[in-house]
Structure 1
Amino acid sequence: MVYLVSVLRLPRLVRNHGVFYRFSSTLTSNQEKEISFADHRTAYAHLSHAEILRAWIVLKLCSFDFLLQNSLKVLETSQRVFGKGLLEKILRPTLYDQFVAGDDPQSLKETANKLKQIGVKLMILPSLEEDIGHKSDQNRYNSNVEVTLQLAEIAYQHGGPLSCLQTKITALISADLLLKIAERNRDEENHFRTISTWANYMAGGSFTPVSYLDKQENIELEMGLERLKSVGAFASGLQLRLLVDGEFTYLNRAISIAALSMAGAFNQTRPVVWNTYQCYLKDAFDKICAEFDVTRRMGVGFGAKIVRGAYLERERILSVEGNYPDPTNPSYEATSAVYDRVVQHMVEQVAALGGQRCNVIVASHNETSVLKALSKMESLGILPTDNTVVFGQIYGMASNITVKLASEGYIVYNSVPYGSLFDVLPYLSRRATENRAVLKGTRRERTLLARELRTRFLGF
């Protein structure tokens, strides 16, 4: 009880963060819209007392740098000391339930229904990926396809058309093979030629062997393209949004080839396959402009998930180890400047081309960036119900942004990890290490959670 009271006493300065943010609309004269992300009552009304307290405790733990840096080691050590059974009893009702939808269709359905009650849509995130150095395993990739199609079906069942499903290309094609392709497609014309060839195959054409790959590698590539084709066709048939996640820079060129090839095959009438743009990278603006031009050249729709990014610290280490220029922005502020520039530019493209040709998801926990996007939408006459510029946050975080946007009529998604505890937690620990800046910056949300608890228990 003493601990609970100390939590409730934490934040009396929330108003100093700014209760209201204002931006003017150019659509109507003398009209001003107010959006408050300090509205804890709206943000947490759907949560029980226990869920709010859990969120505060978990986000507080996520603010400690030592735990974030060593989360995977802590997890592995705890598993050896406590054993899987006891560790699951500790972690499932805490970290797992805070950030993960569950590990079976029923638990995913319950999460989807809980989100639907507050007007938030499901964006399923399977914890399927690999890095270079992993042994190529075609059976594993085929199994990943089956899981992805099952999740696509679930996404449609609970969200209907335009529901979102995230995927990683390295879950479907060997990362080592992708690395070789990335290294041989640095020239822009080769890049476009490969995209066109792969898109033609996925649209029903024949496979063209690649000259710099050996016979076995070409067999693996054809099998990989067939997997991409099956996932893209299934998503297109259900009218889903298939969001291809970004990964490490050494793979991203090949990942972009795969994503744009799928776009060439399946984005004929609207954006089905979307690529992800990581704005912690210095070249994010140039990259999104170049890839947008590729889709225009192919005559297909363009979809973009715009994020700050999750691999920053590893990228900096790799640049030092590899003795090449750091590809990342020097600060969070510099990343935010790139992020806002990318969002503003792409919202302009949405307005210019119309919703059937260009869609974007503003995936951000940064209130200022979200407000700038809202202001841009208003100035260009893009309505929330157009479903062309949408928003996204991680499940279990930034509810003050998510719920408020949904209550104002905006289309908002929660990225929801899915899988068993011992499959998902190592994945989440890697994401935690890579997302330290985001997780350490949850003080604002902890303040609002504590304020909500104080209101419920003490009445003020």
Structure 2
Amino acid sequence: MLSSCVRLPWPLLLPFRQIGTAAARTVVSARDPELLSATLAFEDPKAFQVKTMRELLRALGVFRLCSFPVLVNNCGTLMSIARKLLGKKGFSLFVRPTVYAQFVAGENEMEISQTMEKMSLLGLRPMLAVPIEEDLGESTGEKRYQDNMEAMLECVRMSHSNEWSKDPMMQLKVTALLSPELCVKLSTLMANQLYDLNLLVRAMDGETIKLHGLDEKENTHLLCGLRRLNKIAEESANKVRVLVDAEYTFMNPALSLVTMAMMKKFNKNSAWIWNTYQCYLKVLDPRSHQSLKEGGVLSGSQTGERAYMDKERKLAQKEGRRDPIHNSWEDTNDSYNGSLNAMLEVISVQPDQYKIIVATHNEESVRLTAQRMDQLGIDKNGGSVCFGQLLGMCDHVSLTLAKEGYAIYKSVPYGSVDDTLPYLVRRAQENRTVLQGIRKERDLLRKEVHRRLRQKLVNA
């Protein structure tokens, strides 16, 4: 059996060992109004002038529905009932022009391209996402994972080959290629032993390896999963940046392990494989710090992850463990902003080596990033720092950032109504705090609608 320990460069990690809430004490407060840029107040309804009246009314309607907790909390059940009552075709006719059109780019490449071309004209960049949802107990065999790999390879092709692509990104979910059950077992084993990244890299290159603690069937599945990941990374390297999603904390050590192996192999001349950094956790995994140092995604609860957080809390309570999630929204923001500030300082020294996407809908964190970029002399167009938000959400922030010259990506899922339905349910649940508090965006949309109606009356 071949296994050994990962040797992490701990001196490099020392500045980040207390990067959570403690680090936030060193951050310049974004709550000081004197520090806020007037252009990033996100108060101007003119940001929506680029949208059609139909798009404005659709967004208003969807956000109004999302403001009712009972609808959001039970959206999965309600959609299942509606699908049974209306039938597949009737349900699609209801969902397609409403929730689907708000949050999904389209079903085929022509529809996706139309959405992407419009985004490009608005200064927004695409981050395509194959909406594959799989949880514990849902594994269906190697064929499903192979099919998922083919879907992701098609995502790489679309991300790179179209005119609307500019420094394209895509999202990747490891449990779409490797069973969640194996990720949980491997994460449990990693609590007592560490595995050599070079060993996993050799497995990606085709060498047959065995990890201590896994049986023959599990090792075989791991090899298949690593080779699927390798295939996607090979196709995307030097063309499309791959952002690996975070998932539940009880499987994230394994996800970080395979992601770091991909980073070790493919991040030679630039950061093509990025990891996710979860700032809603009280205790941050040093493996995540290592991934962050090599070039990763900065992600906190502001971006979503709410469904994960709720399940993690319930599991911790059931098993008598300490709640791994920050106790309050404020604590999470402090952790996020502290981590963000630390990474920006690193980037200001070595902008060519480190890259980060500030994936958040939180206006305070966005303004803080812009302020610190200006203070640290980080170029907006240098490629080291960009922003990320979900398609169909927080457009008043996204469009303002684009107008001010910042690189802003929108996470863009695509596929049929049936394929994207589980994604839409999870997104609604993850972001219900954001959706319920989206009153400001609704108000700005309403102001733009009223402005157009008044202008129409004047011109009549």
Per the TM alignment, residue 136 of structure 1 is displaced from its structure 2 partner at its CA by 4.2
Size of the aligned set, in residue pairs, is 420
Kindly provide the amino acid, as one letter, of the partner of residue 386 in structure 2. Answer: V
Identity %: 34
CA RMSD of aligned residues (A): 1.9
Per the TM alignment, residue 209 of structure 1 is displaced from its structure 2 partner at its CA by 1.1
Cα deviations across residues 252-301 of structure 1 (Å, max 9, x unaligned)?
111111111110110011101101122222124866434345xxxxxxx4
Alignment-derived partner of residue 373 in structure 1:
369
Alignment-derived partner of residue 312 in structure 1:
309
- Taking a change above 3 Å as real, the CA distance of residues 364 and 255 of structure 1, as seen in their structure-2 partners, is same
Alignment-derived partner of residue 90 in structure 1:
94
Say which of 323, 326, 329 aligns to 2:323.
326
2:61 equivalent to 1:57: yes
Alignment-derived partner of residue 214 in structure 1:
215
Structure 2 Cα separation of the partners of residues 152 and 305 of structure 1: 22
Kindly provide the amino acid, as one letter, of the partner of residue 297 in structure 2. Answer: A
Alignment-derived partner of residue 234 in structure 2:
233
Alignment-derived partner of residue 23 in structure 1:
35
Per the TM alignment, residue 153 of structure 1 is displaced from its structure 2 partner at its CA by 1.0
2:42 equivalent to 1:37: yes
Question: Is the CA contact 2:300–2:359 (under 8 Å) kept in the aligned structure 1?
Answer: yes
Kindly provide the amino acid, as one letter, of the partner of residue 234 in structure 1. Answer: E
Q: How does 1:18-167 map to 2 (within 5 A)?
A: 23=35, 34-41=39-46, 43-158=47-162, 159-160=164-165, 162-167=167-172
Structure 1 Cα separation of the partners of residues 80 and 326 of structure 2: 32
Say which of 437, 440, 445 aligns to 2:441.
445
Kindly provide the amino acid, as one letter, of the partner of residue 227 in structure 2. Answer: E
Per the TM alignment, residue 33 of structure 1 is displaced from its structure 2 partner at its CA by 6.7
Structure 1 unaligned segments of length 5 or more: list them. 1-19, 25-31, 294-300
Alignment-derived partner of residue 303 in structure 1:
296
Per the TM alignment, residue 457 of structure 1 is displaced from its structure 2 partner at its CA by 0.6
2:250 equivalent to 1:250: yes
Question: Is the CA contact 1:22–1:33 (under 8 Å) kept in the aligned structure 2?
Answer: no
Say which of 182, 191, 198 aligns to 2:187.
182
- Taking a change above 3 Å as real, the CA distance of residues 246 and 436 of structure 1, as seen in their structure-2 partners, is same
Question: Is the CA contact 2:133–2:422 (under 8 Å) kept in the aligned structure 1?
Answer: no
Cα deviations across residues 8-38 of structure 1 (Å, max 9, x unaligned)?
xxxxxxxxxxxx96638xxxxxxx7742311
Kindly provide the amino acid, as one letter, of the partner of residue 296 in structure 2. Answer: G
Find the residue that maps to 2:381 and give its secondary structure. Answer: helix
Per the TM alignment, residue 304 of structure 1 is displaced from its structure 2 partner at its CA by 2.0
Question: Is the CA contact 1:306–1:360 (under 8 Å) kept in the aligned structure 2?
Answer: no
- Taking a change above 3 Å as real, the CA distance of residues 332 and 135 of structure 1, as seen in their structure-2 partners, is same
Kindly provide the amino acid, as one letter, of the partner of residue 417 in structure 2. Answer: L
Per the TM alignment, residue 237 of structure 1 is displaced from its structure 2 partner at its CA by 4.1
Structure 1 Cα separation of the partners of residues 285 and 175 of structure 2: 24
Alignment-derived partner of residue 346 in structure 2:
349
Per the TM alignment, residue 230 of structure 1 is displaced from its structure 2 partner at its CA by 0.3
Per the TM alignment, residue 377 of structure 1 is displaced from its structure 2 partner at its CA by 0.6
Question: Is the CA contact 2:277–2:296 (under 8 Å) kept in the aligned structure 1?
Answer: no
Structure 1 Cα separation of the partners of residues 317 and 392 of structure 2: 34
- TM-score relative to the length of structure 2: 0.87
2:263 equivalent to 1:263: yes
- Taking a change above 3 Å as real, the CA distance of residues 285 and 53 of structure 1, as seen in their structure-2 partners, is farther
Structure 1 Cα separation of the partners of residues 379 and 350 of structure 2: 15
Structure 1 Cα separation of the partners of residues 166 and 40 of structure 2: 28
Structure 1 Cα separation of the partners of residues 292 and 279 of structure 2: 16
Per the TM alignment, residue 85 of structure 1 is displaced from its structure 2 partner at its CA by 1.2
Structure 2 Cα separation of the partners of residues 283 and 155 of structure 1: 35
- Taking a change above 3 Å as real, the CA distance of residues 446 and 119 of structure 1, as seen in their structure-2 partners, is same
Per the TM alignment, residue 427 of structure 1 is displaced from its structure 2 partner at its CA by 1.8
Alignment-derived partner of residue 456 in structure 1:
452
Say which of 332, 337, 341 aligns to 1:340.
337
Find the residue that maps to 1:249 and give its secondary structure. Answer: coil
Per the TM alignment, residue 156 of structure 1 is displaced from its structure 2 partner at its CA by 1.1
Q: How does 1:356-367 map to 2 (within 5 A)?
A: 357-367=353-363
Per the TM alignment, residue 181 of structure 1 is displaced from its structure 2 partner at its CA by 0.8
Structure 2 unaligned segments of length 5 or more: list them. 1-31
Structure 1 Cα separation of the partners of residues 386 and 441 of structure 2: 22
Structure 2 Cα separation of the partners of residues 165 and 54 of structure 1: 26
Alignment-derived partner of residue 394 in structure 2:
398
Alignment-derived partner of residue 172 in structure 1:
177
Kindly provide the amino acid, as one letter, of the partner of residue 130 in structure 1. Answer: E
Per the TM alignment, residue 135 of structure 1 is displaced from its structure 2 partner at its CA by 3.1
- Taking a change above 3 Å as real, the CA distance of residues 388 and 22 of structure 1, as seen in their structure-2 partners, is farther
Find the residue that maps to 1:384 and give its secondary structure. Answer: coil
Structure 1 Cα separation of the partners of residues 375 and 283 of structure 2: 27
Structure 2 Cα separation of the partners of residues 286 and 237 of structure 1: 28
Kindly provide the amino acid, as one letter, of the partner of residue 310 in structure 2. Answer: E
Kindly provide the amino acid, as one letter, of the partner of residue 75 in structure 2. Answer: S
Structure 2 Cα separation of the partners of residues 285 and 179 of structure 1: 15
Question: Is the CA contact 1:163–1:241 (under 8 Å) kept in the aligned structure 2?
Answer: yes
Structure 1 Cα separation of the partners of residues 309 and 435 of structure 2: 14
